[in-house]
């Protein structure tokens, strides 16, 4: 979360997947992609509002 606090785009930032500035090392980005591939669909059941917001934000950026 620290990196998000210091993001140059601030609150108007889209999702990290579509960001033009990569804050994380390539190996860590790959790890996060694997985590999101697993947890993304499950997020619909546990936090549906967050999941829908994420999809909308991803479509806007």
Structural domain for 17, as ranges? 2-60
| Cα 49 → chain centroid | 15
> What is the DSSP track for 3-28?
HHHT-TTGGG---GGG-SS--S-HHH
Q: Which residues contact 57 (CB under 8 A, 6 or more apart)?
A: 14, 15
CB 16 within 8 A of CB 57: no
Cα(18)–Cα(41) distance, rounded to whole angstroms? 19
Total structural domains within the chain: 1
List, for residues 3-60, the tens digit of each pLDDT value. 667 777 777 777 777 777 777 788 988 898 898 889 888 888 999 998 888 888 878 7
């Amino acid at each position: 979360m620290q990196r998000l606090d210091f993001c140059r785009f601030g609150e108007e930032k889209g999702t990290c997947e579509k960001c033009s500035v990569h804050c994380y090392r390539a190996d860590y980005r790959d790890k996060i992609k694997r985590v999101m591939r697993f947890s993304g669909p499950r997020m619909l059941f546990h936090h549906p509002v967050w999941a829908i917001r994420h999809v909308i934000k991803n479509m806007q950026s």
